[in-house]
Amino acid sequence: MKTITLNTPLDMHLHLRDNDMLQTVAPLTAKSFAAALVMPNLVPPITTKEQLKSYAQRIKIAQGEEDFEAHLTLFFQPTYTKEFLEEVREDIIALKLYPAGITTNSDGGVSNFDIEELRPTLSAMSELGIPLCVHGETNGFVMEREAEFVSIYEQLASAFPNLKIIMEHITTKESVEALDKYPNLYATITIHHLLITLDDVAGGMLQPHLFCKPIAKRPIDREALRRVALSGHPKVMFGSDSAPHPQSAKESCGCAAGVFTAPIALQLLVELFDKEGADRENLQKFISDNAKNIYGIHPKEKRVTLEQKPFQVPPIYGNVVPMYAGEEIGWSIGLVE
Ligand code: DOR
Ligand code: ZN
């Protein structure tokens, strides 16, 4: 049987939620990943040191016995001072900026991208070496939102050349092209955006469990994402954007955005790299090494062996339906040590 061992897999964009949902999903990521960057879009969003401390505690309890480190993020607000950021520095890995209202629980995000308005907080982050993670979409036409946001990335990248800016869950060739134009722009890519296009979401019967923000784009965009991920490009990291919602919120009139991939992300990733004949070293870079370099983190080592053996995706985890529910995928998780 063919096997592939990954060293210290990292998920650099993850939604763990809270309460019952946290109990359901945290162990699934904690089992097969060594660490993850956890998003702050709770209700209310994470904006204080107290919230960071107590969320970290709740995650610790929910992850159980697994060796796993949750790196928290703070919900970006342009009012944060340098003093405040110094106080929370030890509790966070980055800040996450959401345009106001663009996605789940982002109402308190940024509504004005005037650089001068953002300057005090972004300069402080730059001085303190705190990276900025960005959900890059305008409120324009849904298929163009990310491409339109590229000019904002460019303004930010040139105005704050020492600030590491991570373009989260990129879905377009325009974002891929921006990567190489600015030394301080980086990106995460999800497994679902490497696998699907808009056709899979809405080309036939509408598939609520594949609906997310940013929405999956054109084949040409998926090609660009695959090229950059499969090549092990040093500025690109895996970030699942696994975003669980209760089945009732997905299979309803007004479907919540988010694809739940935590339990199958590694299997699908290995399957894709294997099918495409990509270099194993590039997979290792994409799943771990690049993120370690970009964020300067030193996660505790965890070796995860994937086996080329069918895995039947469960129909549901708690009350959350995963991507490819009930279907068979080609790889399974074997030994974790
Ligand atoms: O599809 C998405 N779901 N995109 C996001 O940006 C947020 C996420 C969520 O929190 O549900
Ligand atoms: Zn997300």
CATH superfamily entry for domain 9-300: Metal-dependent hydrolases (3.20.20.140)
**28 C-alpha to ligand 1 centroid (Å):** 18
Cα 337 to middle of ligand 1, angstroms:
31
- The predicted pLDDT at position 104 comes to 87
d(CA 112, CA 142): 19
Catalytic-role residue among 241, 274, 279, 289: 241
| CA-211 nearest atom, ligand 1 | 1
Ligand 2 centre and the CA of 104: distance in Å? Answer: 9
Ligand nearest to the CA of 137: 1
Among 11, 13, 14, 15, residue to substitute to test ligand 1 (most atoms within 8 Å of Cβ) = 15
Question: For a pocket test of ligand 1, which of 212, 217, 320 has the largest count of ligand atoms closer than 8 A to its C-beta?
Answer: 212
192 lines ligand 1 (CB under 6 A): no
Cα(74) to ligand 2 centroid in Å equals: 13
Strands (E), 108-264: 132-134, 165-167, 185-189, 236-238
> For residue 84, with 0-12 CB atoms within 10 Å meaning exposed, 13-18 middle and 19 or more buried, which class applies?
middle
Tell me, yes or no, if 241 is annotated catalytic.
Answer: yes
Type of residue at 271:
E
Q: Which atom of ligand 1 is nearest to the CA of 102?
A: 6
CA distance 231 to 227: 6
**pLDDT beneath 50: ranges in the chain:** none
Residue owning tokens 């954007």: 241
Ligand nearest to the CA of 243: 1
Ligand closest to 13 (CA) is 2
What residue type is 44 in one-letter code?
A: P
104 lines ligand 1 (CB under 6 A): yes
Query: Is the Cβ–Cβ distance between 187 and 237 less than 8 Å?
Result: yes
